[in-house]
């Protein structure tokens, strides 16, 4: 049976670590896929649990020289994750402080050449002190680098730790030899390299914490406790993990909704900004759904819990963002392959540099130091984190704004798009028919209030969407409905009945209903002609044998739809609307939101074909939709964006999910994707450029091992800092 597991890994120091762990896992029988992400420090493994166990996978990771951190579910993990990160930062900081304190006397002595009088075993006390301090720094504080390097050596592999270990141990053991034969020692190189790399790792860890800040805030949205209403009506405080589906919770003003549920008592305005990115609160009444982590602003409400644990919207959002951060974009996979072969190449270059300098200068210490500088400066840390750090920041920011990016590949897909194809109903329009105008036949003595009363009396008995539109229009008006008898729904035409008191026949429906009842339709024809370009539907109201009025009903355009289209054009992208609706309705919407190109009366399977046609023309297509019929098009498009208010299958098919059905979020999603990929390219350019420039300088002897350690650390921090620039525009 196939199973997918996420394993938290500790002790990774570079992208090569991730590549090597992934390689070891994939060698295990029964493992189908293993993807290890250095930035998130997690492995996603898909395996056959009948052939290999989770314990075996963990054992494989431990044997490779790394650690395992057990994780709980989302609520627990959110607190635990933050604690663990802070704990690691504190440990690294302590390690750095001790290393600085111990290496300071060695470095000062290098500049001032002070000597402590006396000898021991024929060696000066000054050299013994340097040795002892260096030994502690290299073999205790920096032991983790040597441990992993040794584990890699046993497997005939190399990574960043190999370079660090080779560099520092070479400097240490040569200095140990030199100390006894009376030559110049280089303990300061071994000590300072270790100290500077420890400092770099500490700063990188802190920066990575900043990069995942948005994600941490998302994970911390959940509440720990809630107020449960017991069966006897008492109010008790209860842990969030003890709540079950069906429990009744009380939520007061300014409190967070604990979990997903339905309002069963009270009314209130709920701020859903932390889930949708929308600042305006949403009015909630009995029967409305509410979601965990949203804030109850003013009213006291009781909710019945419908989802707990992994089933809640917040948990699903967190899961989606986490999975996106695990997934490696194609460009990152290339970087990982380069990292895997880069370290062995650097070792060869370092040895060649050493030999070259030795044969040219005959100066063994000089050749050795230059070789060490090459080893240290070429560590591929920046290359390994260039993509995953940017993806981590981009997906986390997206989640905060109500934009769920399902995988890192989405950033790459968004880079060259030309066309944005938008479904009409549910994407640009609300997908809910609304009464736009009440029509009154001036030939008869009926006023608008009569139209509303008679039409409402009939519509109130029907579940048809057009009848519902009439009901919604008059529900807040002070209208007393008439009692109806003999009510019936006439398929494809409308509804009929009779006033119980006056025994008058009543009809509400289309022109076909009028014709079938042999009515004079001259006024109806004039009305249809008048509103022919409105894109709406007219339901005519009949009282006896008179057409006394009617209702113009149309799908309402979403707020922000027109603005979204203008923003799409500003990005030099071509907007195209596609709809299964009739040409008149589609034309009316297109005109309203200023879209020149639109397709009407397109069947679901034809939508997918239209996307194919555009792609065959060399266009890269974004498709935005929300319904079941949009799923094939979302998959077909180069980038699929699903509206969060849509169906589950549509959301499952899309690369990006917009939690709120605001069309303006489409542009935000595209901009964020493009910005993130731009940052990824900048990071990779810097990482490659750094090594292209730095390695020749080290070979030429222009960079000391100490300077190399500083440069290597700064390159990683530069990449992380550049990734954090995504926050600036968002």
Catalogue the active-site residues. Answer: 423
Provide φ and ψ at 130, rounded to 5°.
-60, -45
Closest CA to 64 of 26, 33, 29: 26
DSSP 455-479: HHHHHTT--SHHHHHHHHHHTTS--
Running DSSP on this structure, what letter comes out for residue 256?
B
For residues 450 and 548, the answer to whether their CB atoms sit within 8 Å is yes
Beta strands in 155-223 (DSSP E): none
3-class secondary structure, 354? helix
Running DSSP on this structure, what letter comes out for residue 498?
E
CA atoms within 13 A on the CB side of 691: 22
Q: Give CA–CA dist 664/566, Å, rounded.
A: 10
Supply 24's token pair.
């070891």
C-alpha distances (whole Å) from 58 to each of 27, 69, 92, 144 are 14, 10, 24, 19
Closest CA to 580 of 647, 520, 625: 625
Closest CA to 334 of 695, 684, 720, 689: 684
3-class secondary structure, 222? coil
CA atoms within 13 A on the CB side of 639: 28
User: What's the N-to-C CA distance of the chain in angstroms?
Assistant: 43
For residues 68 and 58, the answer to whether their CB atoms sit within 8 Å is yes
List strands edge to edge, sheet with 505-509. 429-440, 546-557, 537-543, 505-509, 494-499, 484-490
List strands edge to edge, sheet with 301-305. 235-239, 225-229, 248-251, 301-305, 261-265, 289-290
DSSP 623-652: EEE-SGGGHHHHHHSSEEEEETTS-HHHHH
Q: Give CA–CA dist 670/413, Å, rounded.
A: 10
Which residues, at least 6 apart from 705, have a Cβ–Cβ distance to it below 8 Å?
Answer: 167, 171, 189, 192, 193, 369, 372, 373, 376
């Amino acid at each position: 049976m196939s199973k997918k597991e996420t394993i938290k890994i500790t002790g990774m120091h570079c992208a090569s670590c991730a590549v090597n762990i992934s390689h070891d896992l994939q060698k295990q029988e029964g493992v189908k896929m293993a993807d290890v992400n250095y930035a998130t420090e997690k492995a996603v493994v898909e395996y056959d649990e009948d052939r290999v166990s989770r314990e075996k996978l963990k054992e494989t990771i431990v044997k490779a020289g790394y650690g395992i951190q057990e994780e709980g579910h989302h609520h627990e993990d959110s607190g635990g994750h933050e604690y663990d990160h802070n704990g690691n930062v504190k440990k690294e900081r302590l390690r750095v402080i001790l290393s600085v304190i111990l290496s300071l006397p060695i470095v000062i002595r290098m500049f001032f050449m002070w000597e402590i009088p006396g000898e021991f075993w024929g060696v000066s006390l000054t050299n013994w002190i340097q040795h002892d301090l260096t030994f502690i720094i290299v073999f205790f504080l920096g032991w983790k680098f040597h441990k992993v390097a040794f584990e890699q050596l046993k497997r005939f592999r190399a990574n960043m730790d190999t370079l660090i270990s080779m560099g520092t141990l070479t400097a240490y053991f040569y200095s140990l030899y030199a100390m006894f034969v009376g030559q110049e020692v280089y303990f300061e190189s071994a000590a300072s390299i270790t100290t500077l790399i420890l400092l770099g790792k500490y700063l990188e860890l802190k920066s990575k914490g900043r990069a995942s800040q948005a994600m941490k805030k998302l994970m911390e949205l959940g509440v720990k406790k809630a107020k449960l209403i017991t069966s006897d009506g008492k109010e008790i405080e209860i842990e969030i993990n003890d709540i079950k589906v069906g429990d009744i919770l009380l939520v007061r003003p300014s409190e967070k909704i604990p979990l997903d549920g339905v309002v069963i008592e009270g009314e209130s305005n709920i701020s859903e900004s932390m889930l949708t990115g929308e600042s305006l609160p949403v009015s909630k009444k009995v029967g409305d759904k509410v979601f965990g982590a949203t804030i109850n602003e003013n009213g006291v409400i009781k909710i019945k819990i419908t989802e707990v644990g992994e089933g809640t919207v917040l948990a699903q959002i967190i899961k989606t963002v986490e999975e996106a951060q695990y997934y490696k974009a194609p460009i990152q996979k290339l970087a990982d392959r380069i990292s895997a072969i880069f370290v062995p190449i650097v070792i060869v270059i370092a040895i060649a540099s050493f030999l070259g300098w030795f044969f040219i200068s005959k100066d063994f210490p000089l050749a050795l130091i230059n070789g060490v500088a090459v080893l240290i400066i070429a560590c591929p840390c920046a290359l390994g984190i260039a993509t995953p750090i940017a993806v981590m920041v981009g997906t986390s920011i997206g989640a905060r704004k109500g934009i769920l990016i399902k995988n890192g590949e989405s950033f790459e897909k968004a880079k060259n798009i030309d066309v944005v194809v938008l479904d009409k109903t549910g994407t640009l329009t609300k997908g809910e028919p609304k009464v736009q105008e009440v029509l009154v036949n001036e030939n008869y003595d009926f006023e608008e209030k009569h139209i509303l009363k008679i039409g409402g009396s009939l519509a109130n008995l029907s579940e048809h969407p057009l009848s519902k539109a009439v009901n919604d229009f008059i529900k807040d008006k002070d209208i007393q409905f008439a009692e109806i008898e003999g009510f019936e729904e006439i398929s494809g035409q409308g509804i009929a009945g009779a006033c119980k008191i006056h025994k008058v026949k009543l009809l509400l429906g289309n022109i076909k209903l009028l014709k079938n009842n042999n009515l004079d339709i001259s006024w109806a024809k004039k009305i249809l002609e008048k509103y022919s370009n409105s894109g709406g539907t007219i339901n005519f109201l009949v009282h006896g044998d008179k057409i006394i009025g009617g209702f113009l009903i149309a799908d309402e355009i979403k707020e922000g739809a027109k603005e979204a289209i203008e923003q799409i054009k500003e990005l030099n992208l071509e907007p195209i609307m596609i709809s299964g609706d009739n040409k008149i309705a589609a034309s009316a919407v297109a005109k309203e939101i200023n879209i020149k190109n639109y397709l009407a009366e397109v069947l679901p399977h034809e939508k997918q074909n239209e996307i194919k046609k555009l792609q065959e023309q060399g266009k890269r297509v974004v498709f935005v939709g929300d319904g079941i019929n949009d799923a094939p098009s979302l998959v077909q498009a180069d980038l699929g964006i699903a509206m969060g208010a849509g169906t589950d299958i549509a959301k499952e098919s899309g690369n990006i999910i917009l939690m709120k059905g605001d069309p303006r979020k489409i542009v935000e999603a595209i901009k964020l994707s493009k910005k993130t990929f731009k940052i990824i390219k900048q990071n990779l350019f810097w990482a490659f450029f750094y090594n292209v420039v730095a390695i020749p300088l080290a070979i030429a002897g222009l960079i000391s091992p100490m300077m190399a350690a500083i440069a290597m650390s700064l390159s990683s921090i530069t990449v992380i800092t550049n990734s954090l620039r995504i926050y600036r525009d968002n």
